[in-house]
Amino acid sequence: MKARGLTFTPVHANDPMLDNATVQALIARYDSPVPRYTSYPTALEFVPLADSELLNSYRRCEPGRPVSVYIHLPFCENLCLYCGCNVLLSRKIEVLDEYIPLLLAEIDAKTDILEFRPKVSQLHFGGGTPNFLRPGDWDKIFARLRERFIFTDDAEISVELDPMYVSDDYLAHLRSLGMHRVSYGVQDVTPKVLEAVNRPQDIGRIKGVVAASRRLGFSSVNIDLIYGLPHQTLASYRANLDFVGDIRPDRIALFSYAHVPWLKHHQKRMDAAALTQPAEKLLIYLAAREHFASLGYEQIGMDHFGLADDTLTRAFHEKTLHRNFMGYTTQKTLDMLAFGTSAIGFVSGVYMQNHLKLSGYRSAIETGKNWFEKGYVMSDEDRLRHEVITMLMANFHVNFRAIENQFGIQFEVHFADEMQKFQEFAADGHGTLTNESFTASETGSFIIRHIASVFDAYRKSGVAKAFSKAI
């Protein structure tokens, strides 16, 4: 296959499953909109949620079971045109004088519902740009969290940062508060691409920030890259791969750009004609995967890479990896308490999303009413399908007997139509089907979203445009 004059050599030359004809066929058949399944049901199914669900779900929390905590820090000074996150643009630092007290009040109000101090085994700060906050803001947040929660000895505390706006002193302050995992949103290092997506970047500065993070004792320093952006080519992406070799992060997240301008209107400001086309986009992914393997990284799920001794890598090989709104994790689906604008929590089988706009968020906290933008109460069938989809998305594998033991069903009977689809995927070379399990093959891993969607009871032909294309 050729892309803009370039020819791709299969990732594994001895693997007939990855020849160019196969790659072309995958694109022709499977490059269609499909969910990424960070939740099931997807957020598209969320509906207005009564405040009573907050009380009911929190009161069903088990005192001895650890929880995850997610805190959304939505502010950005600059709008990156590829962004699919819920952000609030502001260049006025004073906005934090309103937001931080609201955030602390939300933590107080929701933990007051519980009759115990929950144990926290995961804490993640996302955005937005979390390093929009001042050091004193972090002090207030951590003081409140340690007052309201008990952190386990091995709690994972992680944060997403923009490497262009962080100093050594700032990193040292975050480290002193107990953070030990940091992810830097690099996305791309090519000037033409960065200009097209309105993201300032400097390679030298990023290298310095990564080095400082290691000196300060962060145990895991990770980077995010995106493929599919305007002006990215198989040739130009080599700069990103070389950059990875230079800094050797502990983990790499290689995200496929989700072009959904009907949902994220700012994406219309990019030149759609300059977007990487599906054929070349897949070539970039394959070349990146090959390069990462040559550096000693192993694939984790559909878009992460880690070194052999990484906990996520081991969990993937052992088929015990899990997936939630925060990404891949070694911890089986925990209740997730979420705070901040637009944050999505998951407690006792209930999804709850906070208000997207600051005005709605403020009103909910000040009045103690109308807490949520929307949410969803899972049924028993939802829980069953969620488990199967999560197994596939995280481990490329589903064990029928494990599902039967957990849910008291007969897999082949309950999922008779889905088993037929498994047979079709296996016949096409996209997986191995036995009496006990289904395991995606090399090509199956490329279309795992499609394979998982077989178990999505809510897929409707009329909502396809709500999702990005799979390739």
Please state the residue numbers annotated as binding site for [4Fe-4S] cluster. 76, 80, 83
Q: Which residues are annotated as a binding site?
A: 70, 76, 80, 82-84, 127-129, 160, 187, 199, 224, 258, 344
Residue stretches of the annotated binding site for S-adenosyl-L-methionine: 70, 82-84, 127-129, 160, 187, 199, 224, 258, 344
- Cα(50)–Cα(249) distance, integer angstroms: 43
Asked if the bond preceding 41 is cis, omega within 30° of 0, the reply is yes
Backbone angles phi, psi at 276, to 5 degrees: -65, 130
Q: How far apart are CA 471 and CA 453, in angstroms?
A: 15
**What's the chain's Rg over C-alpha atoms?**
22
288 neighbors 254 (Cβ within 8 angstroms): yes
First-last CA distance in the chain: 16
Instruction: Report long-range pairs for 414-417 (Cβ below 8 Å, ≥24 apart).
Output: 414/384, 415/388, 415/455
Distances (CA, A) of 160 to 55, 131, 174: 30, 8, 12
Angle between helices 380-395 and 400-407 (to 10 degrees): 150
The residues that bridge with 433 in the sheet, in sequence order, are 438
3-class DSSP state of 297: strand
Q: Which residues contact 301 (CB under 8 A, 6 or more apart)?
A: 316, 321, 323, 328, 393, 394, 395, 396
Cα dihedral 372/373/378/379 (nearest 10): 100
List, as one string, the DSSP characters of 130-187: GGGS-HHHHHHHHHHHHHH-EEEEEEEEEEEE-GGG--HHHHHHHHHTT--EEEEEEE
406 contact partners, CB below 8 Å, separation of at least 6: 387
SS3 state at 332:
coil
The answer to whether the Cα torsion of 69, 74, 79, 83 is positive or negative is positive
Among candidates 80, 218, 247, which has minimal Cα distance to 162?
A: 80
